[in-house]
């Protein structure tokens, strides 16, 4: 029993072994390994993962090789919101404590040493840790590579997603491609700032482009707009270096100091339009390069139907042009546009090979296989041209031929070659014109009376314009004719007629043309034989034959003379070379003349050997505009047709001079220059100018020229300017314009700056001490405004609130007062102030809350701002409620943001009357008022009316002397005590003007005057080498920021505070310091917030809070932390009074005469505010009663002497860094004690270096022991969370040391410095939010089984639910605009047909095919294949029967055509005999 059980056990084991061995491959059978197991589940569901298979070793020994193998899987892109695989692995450790606390881990990419370890970085502390020794299988080794980590090792993955593959994508993104599916586009763009545009398009990069790279060099900035195939637009502003995402496309942007670089690997998810925003400075240059996809490609069609239904026929494929973007077939011209597109050659194959049942014969066919060429067009050589000139044709025959296996070419049916265009059978030839005779103008008549002759030149001109042969001799015009002068000749009877002794005895000799043999019988003369005598007169002869050209044999035959028509040419002529020697004297000469006369009488037809002849013309006297050329006359040997010496021809017979016009075409435009002007300067360097114009003379007869465009003339253009008087000027006084008068009436003073300067030959200007200028200095101060002051409005108290509940306003009441001579005021009748605008200050007031009204009351969101245009700009956007001081010719858009009121119903008034539209002044449908290029007449009071609400805006034009006055309508209303004025015909009314007209005019004028004290881009001064320090570059950057403002924007509340301080009657130095401090605040605010009103977004409507937010890239108004910088001002501030000097640090100080005090100012920027310290010669400065710090941090030195000389350095520090700037103080001309009469810090009297002044030491104190100082409390919370709020704090003046101080009046602390601000704005970021439309229909491209895409629009809305620019919401997370959706339309699959029979039973040539279509699962209807591309397409053909055809010597057939091969008797051919061995062996 036990033995049977053992036997059964062995049998089962054997069966198991046999069964496992049967599943192993042939490779495994030769080893000790078992068969590979099934593949594991993929490590990822998308984005490329890894799967593995295992096998076991069947031997107790060690098996060679690996027991595991891998392959890639899930090679489909993940959804956009799926996240990064490595980031998911890091975030999985977020709930695990590390060093006692939790962290949010971020992935660390591209670790070159260990790319397959999980290294993560803590987001809060930046802690870098290795959280796992291996990442999960399928994690990418590097971000820009397909290589993946498997079991902790980085494995190479090709673009075909196969492990170990070296396949790479070409530049077009095609795996293993040859780069033919795209084209390289490169170019460059240069900005043109002079066009006045603010932006321009650089290049439009189309959808699916790759490897985009743009480099901008210059001050401008790049930004990108996108447009998808569904016409959805978006844009992206590139502010800082980093990565951006636009339409699922990553953009790498790098912003450097002198250039910007944009790289996009691609493919682009939309059409990208790269634009450039213009900035001030030089024109920028952009270079770009990218690979553009060829969106129109050739696509091979299926085989056409067979040519026959049975008996064996042909069928062809074709190619159609396919649009990859739209997925449609288009006309072939689109594909021909790309030279890279090569149309695939059609394929030809056999079809319907079964014999026809009704036919008793057999149709012989030749099977096409790999070795058989396609039929082709064959053409014969071109025939000769039908004509030799004037245009003919030549032809050839074209037929379709095919070549058999033996290389024999036979003609076949034309349809077999229609897969390629048929070559032309006709073409034109010899299209040039035939030579023609060209006759020149007739010469004047040879006589002055009676009958004479005139001549002309006749040339044979070919199509090249050259004098050549080939013209028909029978049609040649004559060159001589008789002429008659209508003046009678009075001669004696015995004299000969005029013709007997003409001026020219010669007859006109025609240009002898060479006569060639033709198909008509013609006399053909031969060459002349040599003269019969070597000296004296002789005879020479030639042969003349009648010949004809036999066309069929192209030979010449001689004919009898009577076969030729016309007169036979002479066969002999006289000849004469040289006189014979030994015969001389008059008798001999007389005899020779008699013999010649007798010979002439005997042979009247005899001609001379040499004669005059015309030989072309001379060069034209002018190159254009009409010239003259003369006919060239030569002495010609008639026999040799060569030129001879002119002495051999009779001079009396020389033909007359012939002239003709030439080069009559108008001259091209040319540069015309005027005279140089006088030099613009007598020394230094001046300029001389002249006019340079491109001119053109309409015709050669006209005496005037016309100016044309410069580009019509050739470069280079002559320079219109040149330097002159380039030598140094002597030092001289330079006076500036007079400043504004200190008083508008009652007597005041105005000042100007007077400097001693010298202009050098290189154009530079050096400021020198006053002693360098020889003459006396011009005055720098003069009295002004001596007229008596008129009455003026003075404000008193506030009125009652305008409402009994809710929010209202209070108005500041005013009375009319006049100033007495002693400065006191008294109240007068209000009518005395009728010519002045009454101040209409208002403030909000709030009483008990009102009951909820049914209908909300319209309101206008005004802004109490003062806009001061600092530099020229094309367009400005402003908001009602304030003041605008604009430069002329600036376009202004004035907005009136409202609540609970439709913008289209907004009404605008000017001076209280309805606004009248002008060509340059319009009101848009959105309620905006736009003035194109404002001018002085546009100044005034503009009012926006929205229902019962109204707001005003006062517009002033900078440079205009016009002062605004209260409109007449308001004055009449005041006299009638109505107080209200009609607004429109509807009866709406509003109270009198609640806004002062000229309140800030003087302050704005003073700010504009101080504009010259701010560093300008062109102000560059060389500093002494001792002044150069490490803060120079930082200061240059700050100076550039201060000089780049377009508009300064100030709160009216801050300006009112300045006005009140100015009205307290402080000294001139303090007034200037107060205004300078205000200017610094305004420019610093502009620098810190980086705001501008120059280019607002076009879609912004009804911005309700701050016009400063109009710049697209403003994200927040909170000043960014910054290291301290010291503002370097390259010149002195002013000397008021003359004994006190104020100098900004960074400028060398040279004192040549004693002064009362010297103040070194040190102005800084930084956040947080920096602290200031001073050193002298590198050591801490020791303060005393003469040298001390002011509350502003500036250094003041009383009565500086020699001991104060040295290098003074101001250092500003905060937690982010420090900055230093130095000034060198040098004192000359002071000897001994320095004691002067001066005025310093309010103390008057003698100030000597030895004396101490208790009042001065009290004001020069520093540190916590200072008796007078400002004390500020912390800021209150912001009044609004967004859209702009305000904060307040308490500011008090304290006296006495800390711990024992007490509060005193604020005016006591004004001497210590400006009063700190007690209000400021906060939370200026807009109250905006993202909003979306409803999802669109689910009809996008299919991306999966029953999955498509649907889209929606995403907008940015402000607090009024108004669409604004998307940058307003840039700080918020933007909702997705696309998602996947389910639709039955995408229920598609690849439908495959049955495999056809294999074409061979063995060998390497067998293949079979099947039909593969994209079809719908329910209806079964076929659709376009691109709808199924989300799933791999099954193969439509494959190799089959790839088996050996047997051992050597085994005879069998390897193709199913062998029976036909035997019938066609092709067996003798080796290639057929090998493949049909069995069939051919039976023949």
Q: Which residues contact 857 (CB under 8 A, 6 or more apart)?
A: 900, 947, 948, 949
pLDDT band at 505 (very low <50, low <70, confident <90, very high): very low
> What is the arithmetic mean of pLDDT over 895-915?
89
Q: By CB neighbour count within 10 A (0-12 exposed, 13-18 middle, 19+ buried), where does 330 fall? A: middle
Highest mean pLDDT among 118-132, 754-768, 781-795: 118-132
Highest mean pLDDT among 9-18, 869-878, 1002-1011: 869-878
Tokens of 676: 């140089």
Tokens of 279: 């900035």
Q: Which of 1083, 1084, 1103 is nearest to 1324 (CA)?
A: 1103
Tokens of 662: 């030439």
Q: Which of 184, 190, 191, 220 is nearest to 205 (CA)?
A: 184
Q: Name the DSSP class of 383.
A: P
Q: Which residues contact 780 (CB under 8 A, 6 or more apart)?
A: 751, 752, 753, 754
Q: Name the DSSP class of 676.
A: P
Give residue 891's pLDDT: 94
Rounded Cα distance between 263 and 253, Å, is 6
Tokens of 105: 């881990």
pLDDT band at 944 (very low <50, low <70, confident <90, very high): very high
Tally of residues, the chain:
1483
Residue 1258's beta-bridge partner residues? none
Residue 661's beta-bridge partner residues? 628
Q: Which of 692, 690, 694 is nearest to 709 (CA)?
A: 694
User: 458-472, 1026-1040, 1416-1430 — which is least confidently predicted?
Assistant: 1026-1040
Give residue 163's pLDDT: 87
Rounded Cα distance between 1244 and 1236, Å, is 11
Structural contact between residues 161 and 146, judged by C-beta atoms closer than 8 angstroms: yes
User: How many Cβ atoms from other residues are within 10 Å of residue 896's Cβ?
Assistant: 30
Higher pLDDT, 1168 or 165: 165
Rounded Cα distance between 780 and 749, Å, is 10
Whether the per-residue pLDDT at 767 is higher than 80: the answer is yes
DSSP strand pairing (754-759 vs 765-768)? antiparallel
pLDDT band at 1134 (very low <50, low <70, confident <90, very high): very low
Rounded Cα distance between 1385 and 1345, Å, is 10
Structural contact between residues 1381 and 1336, judged by C-beta atoms closer than 8 angstroms: no
Q: In what order do the strands lie in the sheet with 242-246?
A: 182-190, 285-293, 210-217, 259-264, 249-255, 242-246
Q: Which of 1198, 1185, 1199, 1207 is nearest to 1232 (CA)?
A: 1199
Give residue 759's pLDDT: 82
Coil vs helix vs strand at 1389:
strand
Q: Name the DSSP class of 98.
A: B
Rounded Cα distance between 1343 and 1380, Å, is 8
> What is the arithmetic mean of pLDDT over 1297-1314?
77
> Dihedral of the CA atoms 534, 538, 539, 540 (nearest 10)?
20
Rounded Cα distance between 1414 and 1436, Å, is 12
Give residue 892's pLDDT: 94
Strands (E), 1241-1358: 1243-1248, 1268-1272, 1285-1288, 1291-1295, 1302-1304, 1319-1322, 1329-1332, 1347-1351, 1354-1357
Q: Looking up tokens 């937690």, which residue turns up?
A: 1215
**pLDDT tens digits, 210-222:** 999 999 998 888 9
Q: By CB neighbour count within 10 A (0-12 exposed, 13-18 middle, 19+ buried), where does 779 fall? A: exposed
Q: Containing H/E element for 22?
A: helix 2-22
Q: What is the crossing angle of helices 1001-1010 and 1052-1062, to 10°?
A: 90
Rounded Cα distance between 426 and 393, Å, is 7
Q: By CB neighbour count within 10 A (0-12 exposed, 13-18 middle, 19+ buried), where does 1004 fall? A: buried
Rounded Cα distance between 5 and 2, Å, is 5
Whether the per-residue pLDDT at 164 is higher than 80: the answer is yes
Structural contact between residues 262 and 274, judged by C-beta atoms closer than 8 angstroms: yes
Rounded Cα distance between 726 and 732, Å, is 17
Cα separations in angstroms, 842 against 130, 848, 1166: 66, 20, 36
Q: Name the DSSP class of 283.
A: P
Q: Containing H/E element for 914?
A: strand 913-914
User: 233-237, 700-704, 1145-1149 — which is least confidently predicted?
Assistant: 700-704
> What is the arithmetic mean of pLDDT over 133-149?
88
> What is the arithmetic mean of pLDDT over 794-823?
78
Q: Looking up tokens 């008699």, which residue turns up?
A: 594
Structural contact between residues 471 and 436, judged by C-beta atoms closer than 8 angstroms: yes
Rounded Cα distance between 445 and 77, Å, is 98
Q: What is the crossing angle of helices 1032-1042 and 1068-1089, to 10°?
A: 90
Higher pLDDT, 107 or 498: 107
Question: How far is residue 288 CA from its own chain's centroid?
Answer: 9
> What is the arithmetic mean of pLDDT over 789-802?
81
Whether the per-residue pLDDT at 1471 is higher than 50: the answer is yes
Give residue 789's pLDDT: 80
Q: Looking up tokens 């310093």, which residue turns up?
A: 1240
H helix and E strand count, the chain:
14, 98
Give residue 372's pLDDT: 52
Highest mean pLDDT among 95-99, 496-500, 1333-1337, 1362-1366: 1333-1337
Whether the per-residue pLDDT at 555 is higher than 60: the answer is yes
Rounded Cα distance between 1028 and 1022, Å, is 10
**pLDDT tens digits, 75-106:** 888 887 777 888 888 888 888 888 778 888 89
pLDDT band at 822 (very low <50, low <70, confident <90, very high): low
User: How many Cβ atoms from other residues are within 10 Å of residue 1273's Cβ?
Assistant: 11
Tokens of 588: 């001999």
> What is the arithmetic mean of pLDDT over 628-649?
84
Higher pLDDT, 1085 or 457: 457
User: How many Cβ atoms from other residues are within 10 Å of residue 1266's Cβ?
Assistant: 20
Q: DSSP letters of 298-358? A: EEEPPPPPPS-SSS-EEEE--EEEEETTTTEEE-THHHHT-TT--PPPPPEEEE--SPPTT
Residue 163's beta-bridge partner residues? 157
Tokens of 1350: 């649907």
Q: What is the crossing angle of helices 1001-1010 and 1068-1089, to 10°?
A: 80
Q: What angle do CA 189, 191, 193 make, to 5 degrees?
A: 170
pTM of the complete model: 0.30
């Amino acid at each position: 029993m036990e033995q049977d059980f053992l036997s059964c056990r062995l049998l089962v084991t054997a069966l198991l072994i046999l069964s496992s061995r049967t599943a192993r491959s042939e490779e495994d059978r030769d080893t000790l390994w078992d068969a590979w197991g099934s593949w594991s589940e993929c490590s990822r569901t998308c984005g490329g993962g890894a799967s593995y298979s295992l096998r076991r070793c069947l031997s107790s020994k060690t098996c060679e090789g690996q027991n595991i193998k891998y392959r890639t899987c899930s090679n489909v892109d993940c959804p956009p919101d799926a996240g990064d695989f490595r980031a998911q692995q890091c975030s999985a450790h977020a709930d695990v404590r590390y060093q006692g606390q939790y962290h949010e881990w971020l992935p660390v990419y591209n670790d070159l040493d260990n790319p397959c370890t999980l290294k993560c970085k803590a987001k809060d502390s930046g802690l870098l840790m290795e959280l796992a020794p291996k990442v999960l299988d399928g994690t990418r080794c590097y971000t820009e590579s397909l290589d993946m980590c498997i079991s902790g090792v980085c494995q190479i993955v090709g673009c075909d997603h196969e492990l170990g593959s070296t396949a790479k994508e070409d530049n077009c993104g095609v795996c293993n491609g040859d780069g033919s599916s795209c084209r390289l586009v490169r170019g460059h763009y240069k900005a043109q700032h002079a066009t006045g545009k603010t932006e321009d398009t650089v290049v439009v990069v189309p959808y699916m482009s790759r490897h985009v790279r743009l480099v901008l060099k210059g001050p401008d900035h790049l930004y990108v707009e996108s447009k998808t195939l569904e016409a959805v637009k978006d844009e992206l502003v590139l502010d800082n270096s980093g990565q951006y995402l636009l339409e699922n496309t990553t953009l790498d942007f790098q912003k450097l100091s002198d250039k910007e670089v944009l790289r996009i690997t691609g493919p682009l998810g939309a059409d990208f339009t790269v634009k450039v925003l213009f900035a001030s400075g030089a024109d920028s240059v952009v270079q770009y390069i990218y690979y553009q996809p060829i969106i129109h490609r050739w696509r091979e069609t299926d085989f056409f139907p067979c040519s026959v239904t049975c008996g064996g026929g042909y069928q062809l494929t074709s190619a159609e042009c396919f649009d990859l973007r739209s997925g449609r077939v288009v006309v072939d011209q689109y594909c021909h546009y790309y030279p890279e597109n090569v149309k695939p050659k059609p394929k030809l194959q056999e079809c319907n090979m079964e014999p026809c049942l009704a036919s008793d014969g057999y149709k012989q066919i030749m099977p096409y296989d790999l070795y058989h060429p396609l039929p082709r067009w064959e053409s014969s050589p071109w025939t000769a041209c039908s004509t030799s000139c004037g245009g003919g044709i030549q032809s050839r025959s074209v037929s379709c031929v095919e070549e058999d296996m033996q290389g024999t070419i036979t003609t076949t049916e034309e349809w077999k070659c229609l897969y390629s265009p048929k070559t032309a059978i006709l073409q034109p030839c010899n299209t040039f014109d035939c030579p023609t005779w060209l006759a020149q103008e007739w010469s004047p008549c040879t006589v002055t009376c009676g009958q004479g002759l005139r001549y002309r030149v006749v040339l044979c001109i070919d199509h090249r314009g050259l004098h050549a042969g080939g013209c028909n001799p029978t049609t040649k015009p004559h060159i001589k004719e008789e002429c008659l002068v209508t003046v009678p000749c009075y001669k004696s009877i015995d004299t000969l007629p005029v013709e007997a002794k003409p001026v020219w005895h010669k007859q006109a000799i025609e240009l002898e043309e060479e006569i060639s043999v033709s198909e008509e019988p013609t006399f053909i003369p031969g060459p002349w034989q040599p003269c019969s005598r070597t000296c004296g007169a002789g005879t020479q002869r030639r042969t003349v034959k009648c010949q004809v050209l036999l066309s069929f044999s192209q030979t010449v035959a001689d004919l009898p003379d009577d076969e030729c028509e016309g007169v036979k040419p002479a066969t002999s002529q006289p000849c004469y070379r040289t006189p014979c020697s030994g015969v001389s004297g008059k008798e001999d000469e007389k005899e020779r003349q008699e013999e010649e006369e007798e010979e002439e009488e005997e042979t009247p037809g005899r001609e001379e050997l040499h004669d005059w002849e015309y030989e072309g013309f001379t060069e034209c006297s002018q190159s254009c505009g009409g010239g003259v050329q003369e006919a060239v006359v030569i002495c010609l040997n008639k026999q040799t047709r060569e030129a001879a010496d002119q002495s051999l021809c009779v001079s009396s017979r020389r033909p007359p001079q012939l002239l003709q016009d030439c080069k009559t075409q108008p001259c091209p435009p040319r540069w015309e220059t005027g005279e140089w002007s006088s030099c613009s300067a007598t020394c230094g360097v001046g300029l001389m100018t002249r006019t340079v114009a491109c001119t053109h003379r309409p015709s050669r007869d006209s005496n005037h020229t016309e100016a044309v465009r410069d580009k019509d003339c050739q470069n280079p253009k002559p320079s219109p300017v040149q330097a002159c008087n380039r030598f140094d000027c002597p030092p001289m006084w330079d006076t500036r314009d007079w400043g504004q008068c200190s008083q508008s009436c009652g007597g005041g003073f105005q000042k100007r700056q007077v400097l001693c300067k010298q202009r050098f030959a290189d154009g530079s200007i050096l400021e020198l001490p006053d002693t360098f200028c020889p003459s006396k200095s011009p005055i720098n101060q003069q009295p002004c405004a001596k007229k008596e002051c008129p009455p003026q409005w003075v404000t008193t108290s506030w009125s009652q609130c305008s409402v009994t509940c809710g929010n209202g306003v209070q108005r500041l009441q005013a009375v009319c007062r006049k100033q007495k001579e002693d400065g006191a005021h008294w109240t007068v009748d209000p009518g005395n102030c009728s010519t002045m605008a009454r101040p209409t200050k208002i403030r909000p007031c709030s009483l008990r809350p009102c009951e909820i009204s049914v209908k909300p009351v319209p309101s206008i969101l005004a802004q109490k701002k003062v806009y001061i245009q600092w530099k020229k700009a094309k367009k400005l956007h402003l908001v009602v409620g304030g003041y605008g001081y604009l430069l002329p010719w600036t376009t202004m858009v004035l907005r009136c943001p409202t609540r609970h009121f439709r913008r289209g119903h907004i009404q605008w008034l000017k001076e209280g009357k309805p606004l009248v539209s002008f060509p340059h002044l319009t009101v848009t449908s959105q309620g905006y008022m736009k003035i194109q290029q404002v001018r002085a007449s546009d100044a005034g009071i503009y009012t926006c009316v929205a229902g019962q609400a109204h707001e005003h805006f006062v517009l002033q034009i900078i440079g205009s002397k016009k002062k605004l006055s209260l409109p007449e309508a308001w004055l009449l209303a005041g006299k009638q005590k109505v107080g209200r004025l009609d607004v429109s015909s509807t009866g709406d009314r509003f109270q009198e003007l609640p806004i002062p007209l000229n309140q800030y005019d003087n302050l704005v004028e003073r700010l504009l005057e101080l504009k010259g004290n701010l560093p300008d881009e062109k102000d560059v001064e060389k500093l002494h080498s001792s002044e150069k320090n490490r803060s120079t570059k930082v200061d240059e950057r700050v100076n550039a920021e201060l000089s780049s403002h377009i508009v300064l924007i100030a709160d009216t509340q801050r300006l009112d505070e300045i006005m009140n301080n100015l009205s307290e009657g402080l000294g001139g130095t303090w007034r200037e310091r107060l205004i300078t401090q205000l200017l610094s605040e305004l420019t610093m605010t502009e620098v810190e917030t980086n705001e501008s009103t120059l280019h607002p977004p076009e879609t912004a409507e009804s911005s309700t809070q701050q016009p400063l937010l109009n710049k697209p890239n403003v994200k927040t108004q909170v000043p960014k932390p910054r290291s301290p910088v010291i503002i370097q001002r390259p010149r002195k501030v002013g000397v008021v009074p003359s004994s006190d000097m104020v100098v900004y640090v960074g400028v060398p100080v040279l004192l040549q005469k004693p002064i009362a005090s010297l103040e070194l100012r040190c102005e800084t920027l930084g956040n947080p505010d920096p602290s200031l310290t001073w050193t002298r010669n590198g050591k801490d400065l020791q303060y005393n009663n003469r040298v001390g710090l002011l509350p502003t941090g500036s250094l003041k030195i009383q009565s500086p002497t020699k001991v104060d000389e040295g290098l003074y350095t101001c250092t500003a520090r905060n937690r982010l860094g420090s900055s230093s700037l130095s000034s060198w103080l040098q004192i000359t001309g002071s000897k001994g004690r320095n004691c002067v009469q001066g005025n310093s810090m309010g103390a008057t009297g003698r100030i000597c270096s030895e004396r101490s002044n208790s009042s001065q030491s009290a004001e020069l104190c520093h540190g916590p022991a200072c008796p007078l100082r400002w004390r500020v409390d912390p800021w209150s919370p912001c009044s609004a969370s967004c859209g702009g709020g305000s904060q307040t704090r308490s500011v008090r003046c304290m006296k006495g040391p800390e711990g024992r101080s007490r509060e005193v009046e604020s005016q006591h602390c004004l001497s210590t410095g400006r009063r700190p601000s007690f209000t400021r704005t906060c939370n200026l970021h807009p109250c905006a939010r993202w909003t979306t439309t409803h999802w669109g229909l689910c009809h996008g491209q299919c991306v999966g089984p029953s999955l498509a895409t649907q889209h929606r629009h995403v907008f940015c809305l402000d607090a009024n639910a108004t669409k604004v620019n998307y940058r307003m919401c840039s700080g918020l997370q933007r909702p997705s605009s696309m998602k996947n959706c389910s639709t039955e339309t995408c229920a598609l699959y690849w439908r495959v047909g049955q495999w056809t029979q294999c074409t061979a039973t063995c060998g390497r040539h067998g293949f079979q095919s099947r039909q593969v279509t994209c079809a719908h699962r329910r209806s079964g209807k076929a659709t376009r294949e691109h709808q199924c591309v989300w799933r791999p397409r099954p193969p439509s053909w494959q190799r089959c029967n790839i088996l050996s055809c047997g051992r050597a010597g085994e005879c069998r057939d390897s193709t199913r055509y062998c029976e036909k091969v035997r019938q066609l008797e092709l067996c003798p051919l080796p290639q057929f005999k090998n493949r049909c061995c069995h069939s051919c062996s039976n023949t």
